[in-house]
Each structure stands twice: as C-alpha cells, then as structure tokens.
Amino acid sequence: MDEKSERGEINFDHLDIDTESIKRSLANRLTYTVGKDQFTATERDWFHTTAYTVRDRLIERWMETMRSYYEKDAKRIYYLSLEFLIGRTLTNSLLNLDFHEPCREALQEMGYELERIREIEDDAALGNGGLGRLAACFLDSMATLCLPGYGYGIRYEYGMFKQQIRNGWQVEHPENWLRYGNPWEYARPEVLFNVKFKGRVVQYKDEEGRNHHHWIDTEEVMAMAYDTPIPGYKNDSVNNMRLWSAKGSRDFDLNYFNQGDYIMAVEEKNISENLSRVLYPNDTTVMGRELRLQQEYFFVSASLQDILFRFQKHHDNITELPDKVAVQLNDTHPAIAVPEMMHLLVDHHQLEWKEAWSITTRTFSYTNHTLLPEALETWPVALFGRMLPRHLQIIQEINRRFLNDVMHTHPGDAGLLSRMSIFSEDGEQHIRMAHLAIVGSHHVNGVAALHTELMKETIFADFHSFYPEKIINITNGITPRRWLNQANPQLSQLITEMIGTKWTTHLDELKKLEPFAEDAEFRRRFHAVKQANKKRLVELIKQHLEIEVRTDSLFDVQIKRIHEYKRQLLNLLHVVTLYNRIRSGQGDEIVPRTIIMSGKAAPGYATAKLIIKLANDIADIINHDPAVGDLLRVVFVPNYDVSTALDIIPAAELSEQISTAGMEASGTGNMKLALNGALTIGTLDGANVEIRDEVGEENIFIFGHTTDSVKQLRQQGYNPQQPIEASKELQQVLEMIDSGFFSPDDPTRYKPLLETLRREDHYLVLDDYADYIACQQRVEALYRDSEAWDRSAILNVANMGHFSSDRSIRDYAEKIWGVKPVCRQSCD
C-alpha cells in the first residue's frame, strides 16, 4: 500500500495522467465506448474518445468531493439560473486537471492534433449573454475555491440559436447541440421529480381548526436530472451542475392507457417534453409567454425538491435549513422559488406561516441584473393563477403581510403601498417578480458599484429605505482560467515567466507586472504576443470571411449582444466618419483600423436586426472601395458565442464599452478584453467605472455623458437636432445612411432608424457623438506611440485582479451565503 491508501485516502493513480496511460485510455475508449477503430474513426469520434478519457479522470474526484461535503456536513450553495453559458469544455477540463500537455502528446503520438480535435466540440450555449456567462464563471470559481456550490438549471435541447449572416441580414438557425451526444453529462434517470401545473386548490379545516390547502386535479410533468462535473483548477475538487430535462409524466400517461388510447398518451408525453425544448433567446426584454413561466416553475420546483431531499437525508429538523442551505436567485427568473418554498413548508411540512417565512427569507438571496424597465419580469395575474393557483394564493398572502408591515411603519401613505406592492394595479394586474424576490430574500445585490447605487436611488428606492441593509453590491467578475489562461496561452506564459503561476488562482498577483511596464524588453515581448494573436485572428478572418485585414492595423472590437442601449450605432457612426475623412483626402492622418463587431439580435428585435444589416452594408461598401485601400476594414463576425469570444479577445487592442450611461448593469466583456491587454474606450457605466478606478484614468479612454448628465439632459428636454446642428461631419454621416449610400438596392432601408434618431434618440447616440469622435482621436494619438500604448496595455492587465470571479465569489460567500471552503488539501 502506498502512503495515500494507508491514510485511507482515495488513490487516483490507476487513471494516471502520464502520456502512456492516456494513450492506453484513448485506445480503450475508442474501442469500447465509441465503437470504432483507428481506420474508421472520424475526427468527431476522436473528440468523443478524448472527452471520455478526460471525464474518466474527473469522476472519482467528483464523487470524492461530494463525499467530503457529506462528511463535513457543509453548508451548500445552490445557484439557480435559467442560463449557463458554458461554451466548450475539453480544453478547460484538461487545463484544470493539469494534463493538457500529456494528452496533447498522447494524441500526437497516435497521429492526431488536439488543436483540431477540440474545434469539433459544440458550444454548450445554454444562455443569452452576460447573465448566463456569469453563472458559468461562478461555477468555475466555486469549484476552484473548494466551495460546495451546485448549479441548477434546464437542459435545453436547443440552446442559443446559431446566427448566420445571409445577404447582410441575421438569420436564426436552431442549435441542436445534443445531436451527436454530450460526452460530459451523466443522465440520472432515477433522479426524477414530479412537477405540477394548473388544477385547483381546495381548502379545509382540521379538527384543531388549522387551515389546509390541497392543490388537486393538476397536470404533471417529470423532471429528470442530468449531471455535469465542474472541476476546480488543479485542486481535485469537482462540483456538480444539475440540469433538468422534462419527461412526460408516467401517472398522466396511465389515464390514457387505461382508456386504451395509446397514441394520445404518447402525444401528451411529447407536449410535456416541450418544456425543456428551447432556450428563450431574449436578452434584456421579457415576453410574458406561458411556456416560459412553465420553464421557470419546472426547474425551480425540481431543484427545491432535490435540495430538500438532500438536506433531509441527514437532517430531520427543517428549521435548520438556512444553516445548511443558501439559494442564490440569478435574476428574477427563479423567483417563484420563494412561494414554492412556502408551499413546501406550509402545505407539505405543516409549518406555521411565520416559521416557514423565517426559514424562506433566511435561505434566499437575489441578484438583480438590470434597471431597464422592459427587462423587469412581470406576469399577468390571470395567466399565473391558471398555471399555479396555489402559488398565487401564497403570493397574495406574502403581499398582504408585507404591505401590512409597510403600513405600520408608514401610516397613511397609500402611494407607497401601491409602489411597493408585489402586484401592479395599472390596467391588467401583474405580479412584479423583482418585488417578490426582494421581499423573499435576506440580501439583494447589484452587480457593479454604480448599478447598486442606482438600484438604491431609483427603481428600488422605497425598498432601500424600508430595508436599509438588504441591498448590497457585489461587482461581477470573470474566471481567469478561461479568459486568460485558456484564451491567451502566449500571454499567460509570458506572465508566468515574469511573476510565477499564482495569478491563475490569485489574480491580484498580476499587480507584480506593474514595474515591467517600464521595461522595454518586456514591452517588446508583450507587443509580440499581441501581434501573434492578431495574426491568428487575421488568418481566421481570411479563411472564414474572405476579408483581408492588416495585422498592423488597430484592432477595434465591439462584441456583445446587439442592443440600442449598447450603441453599436455610435460605433458605426464613427466608422462612417473615418471613411469620409479618408475619402476627403485626410487618409494620411488616420491610423489604419480594423473594426471588428460581433453579436446576436433577439429574433423579434427589429431595430437590432437592422443595425446588424447596417454594419454589414457599411462593411461591404468600405471594404471594397479602392479609395480606402487597406486603411479601414469592417468585419462582422457571425454567431458570437463563447468560442468566437475566445478567438477575438486575445487579439483585441481597443475595447468598445460605449453604452448610454446608467444602462449597462456591469458588463463582463469589458473585463475579459482589458485582462487580455485591450484599452477600453467607454462611458462611465457599469463596471467601466471600477475598471477606470483600478487602471487609472490615464490608461482608459472615457467619454460622453454620465448618469447625472443624462438625467439632467432628459429633464431639460433633449433635442437631437442640437448635436446634429453642431457637427458638419455628423450631418454628412446621417445624410449618407439616410439617402441609401450604403443600401443602393433599397435606399429607404434605414429611414426608420434615422427617423427615430433624429426625432427621439432615446439612447443619446447623437449627443455623445462629438465627444466619442474626439476620444477616438486621442486613441489614435496614443496608438501612434506604440511604446506608450503597450505601457498602458500592460498596466491594464496588471490592474485587473479585482475582476476575477474568485473575488466575486469570496464576496458572496462572506457577505451573503455564510459559507466556508471545504478543504481536503491546502486551500488558501
């Protein structure tokens, strides 16, 4: 027996990670799992073979981690999120398990390239954008910090749609990511929970006069679990992400079978399975669709049943739940968890309301992600009551008691009561899910300092004065494992050479790079890495989009969902301004630039889709105009997802974060780009404010209105004609787009867009134009001084420590969840 076995520890050595052992595993997996030999195996077979070989090395660590949580009776964190935007898993797992190199060698000796095989993997795109990617970064950080964190969500059969650009327009295609099977997940057909909908509630009093509610005549759907291991970084911790898939209910089928209607039974089964069919592709707007409400309740109900089942295996006193369980609600999408918990505690566990309410509010906490009114979730009471009649009663009771409390502290203030009510009374009655989440949680957090302040001052001001301690800030972060170590191997290696490897788990260590900003040799090497990354992107653009781009041009990048508030239009106005300057003979004064844009528009968001078409129309004219030469290129990269982000970000030099001040809650794209050495041009919005505080105002390009000046401008009555009259260049740009210069095949195509700009310009694109253009000129000036640019870029990287999702998760653990790491070895 070796030392480890003598100490009673699990020994993983029989699945070694040396090249020879991996080769053996690959051969076995190819034969016995994939069922192919070296002659018949396709590249996809090799991807699956490699994935299984990696998964084999995760599984024992995973079970061991789960056992350690039981043994320590650790308090668990349940992160409830309708979205997890994971992306690919292979490289991430290889790096976290520390056998990327041996695996690469093993494959190479067998005649295959890991670099090619990993490209076969489909992205797990179970999210729209920032919110879903945040959830994915948080899972990585919880595992890396040895925290018992579980992700709970839905296993959508179709993830975020695939975006094709056809003739310049966005076309959506279904993303059938499970078509070839998902090697990372374990199906758990035995982990099955019943989820009820509809029906009615009957009430009766028992002998002791206690009221009981029975929810009966319901329709039922089964939730089946699929588990995906989430490895920490080189720490042998592996957590779990459990996603629910809808299965037709067995009981429900039985009724039909008894009536002899077999086909009907199978059809019904199909209908209930629609529940987990598809991710709603809406970012920052909500459409109150019945199936969406069903999705929300479906995954919340299954998750809470599972959580209580796990708790009760080892605890018999339900009142101890908040000591052992913390549930984080990622936005209001899972806010039905509040009434669901009350339903379980009061109707099933027979607790008194007060006690149940105390348990509930000590268990939940809620993260707000937006101040945009169109993104705040509400449900029509009529629809909600049909779908979840018992929950409607419970919410009404929660609201009655809550408003009663408000009334006692603020007697006679009817306005306050109606503002704070969980029910909106204007027109058709709606349930305000944010109010429900706030009332049902012990903490509510915003995702950047500015966003949290605005929450307290504006949309939740009444709640903030009623619960002065409840709303706190936890600034978002990104995992340095995926967004630096994996995204940018060359920069990672350079950093490690200078300051060691500790930065991968302690990102503050990057501060040690600061002195090297003054070191000419380091700057040269840093510059060379950026150039190499740019070269790689130039090849990809050439190969996939057939556009020739100068590697020595300024790579100016705006990659994010397409939305009016994010102001891709402002970027395009600048592009056309540069174009006009070149055409009027000022080309010599311009820094060669490549504008790279990427992003999806919600399928029903016509304006956003038109902006994509405009970007492509402008690109088409500029990229083919001989007068431009190679001075300017516009590249719209189709299908923005985690994998395209990983291709683009390491090559970026300028990061466009130009939302209207006060509208971007945090942003995380801004963090990824700065961490990879791009300088930010941005407004004082979301986490840009904190990025400026960290990197220093001399290393960031800030322009435009602030939240205060936006408010002022709107109060005094903003007139878009003013900025237009003030700028000849702006007039010319607008006139060109308006007159069909970029759309000769349909000269009126952009009339509606221009009409809204000229009349209303709600997002202040025109009023920020002049300052933006001037700021872009400061960008050019610095870019001409390559040494100074590189110095600033290095200082950006060096000061990004604060934006690690490890820091975010430590904040949550300490300020909200009250959890500690479960150490099996050293976790510092």
Interacting residues with ligand PLP (CB under 6 A): 129-130, 133, 560-561, 640-642, 645, 667-669, 672
Output 129 or 720, the one with its CB closest to ligand PLP.
Answer: 129
Rounded Cα distance between 680 and 656, Å, is 6
Q: Which of 267, 338, 325 is nearest to 297 (CA)?
A: 338
Distance of CA 369 to the CA centre of its chain: 11
The nearer residue to ligand PLP, 438 or 684, going by C-beta atoms, is: 684
* Shorter beta-carbon distance to ligand PLP: residue 144 or 644: 644
369 is catalytic: yes
Q: What are phi and psi of 171, to 5 degrees?
A: -125, 135
561 assigned to active site: yes
> Of 286 and 665, which CB lies nearer to ligand PLP in the complex structure?
665
Dmax over CA atoms of the chain, in Å, equals: 93
Least distance from ligand PLP to the Cβ atom of residue 714, Å:
24
Please say which residue, 505 or 639, places its beta carbon nearer to ligand PLP: 639
Quickly list DSSP for 798-827.
Answer: HT-GGGBHHHHHHHHIIIII------SS--
Mention every residue, 6+ apart, whose C-beta is less than 8 A from residue 785.
none
Smallest distance, Å, CB 288 to ligand PLP? 24
Give the nearer residue to ligand PLP in terms of CB position, either 561 or 613. Answer: 561
At closest approach, how far in Å is the CB of 618 from ligand PLP?
21
Comparing CB distances to ligand PLP, the nearer of 523 and 561 is: 561
Given 75, 451, 561, 600, the catalytic residue: 561
Rounded least distance, CB 676 to ligand PLP, Å? 12
Minimum distance of ligand PLP from residue 127's CB (angstroms): 8
Q: Of 560, 574, 791, 802, which one is the catalytic site residue?
A: 560
What six digits make up the tokens of 442?
């012990």
- Alpha-carbon 192 to chain mean position: 27
User: At closest approach, how far in Å is the CB of 533 from ligand PLP?
Assistant: 17
Q: Which residue is nearest to ligand PLP (CB)?
A: 669
List Cα–Cα distances, 776 to 248, 308, 654, 681, 785, in angstroms: 57, 55, 10, 8, 15
Give the type of residue at 755. E
Catalytic, 672? Answer yes
User: Containing H/E element for 44?
Assistant: helix 43-72
Contacts of 512 (CB under 8 A, 6+ apart): 498, 499, 798
- Which of left, alpha, beta for 103 (phi over 0: left; psi -120 to 50: alpha)? alpha
DSSP3 helix / strand / coil % (the chain, rounded to 5): 55, 15, 30
Dihedral over Cα of 245, 247, 250, 255: its sign? positive
Catalytic residue from among 672, 692, 807, 824? 672
Smallest gap from residue 513 Cβ to ligand PLP (A): 23
How close are the terminal C-alpha atoms of the chain, in Å? 30
Least distance between ligand PLP and beta carbon 560 (Å):
4
The residue among 323 and 647 lying less far from ligand PLP, judged by its C-beta, is 647
Alpha carbons 81 and 130: distance in angstroms, whole number: 12
* 69 CB-near residues (< 8 Å, 6+ apart): 76, 148, 822
* Closest CB 507 distance from ligand PLP, rounded Å: 17
Q: Is 676 helix (H, G, I), strand (E, B) or coil?
A: coil
Whole-angstrom distance, CA of residue 275 vs CA of residue 694: 44
User: Minimum CB separation from ligand PLP for residue 85, in Å?
Assistant: 6
Tell me whether residue 481 or residue 561 sits nearer to ligand PLP (CB atom): 561
Eight-state DSSP code of residue 434: H
The SS3 call for residue 447 is coil
Q: In the complex with ligand PLP, which residue's Cβ is closer, 129 or 281?
A: 129
Q: In the annotation, is 668 catalytic? A: yes
Closer to ligand PLP by Cβ: residue 129 or 149 = 129
Q: Looking at 369, 609, 791, 824, which residue is catalytic?
A: 369
Task: Render 253-315 in DSSP notation, one character per residue.
Answer: HHHHHHHT-HHHHHHHHHHHHGGGTB----SS-----HHHHHHHHHHHHHHHHHHHHHHHHH-
Which one of the listed residues 332, 668, 680, 683 is annotated catalytic? Answer: 668
Partners of 126 in the beta sheet? Answer: 84
Report the distance separating Cα 784 and Cα 788, nearest Å: 9
Q: How many helices (H) and strands (E) does the chain have?
A: 34, 24
CB of 495 to ligand PLP, least distance (A): 21
Catalytic amino acids? 369, 560-561, 566, 668, 672
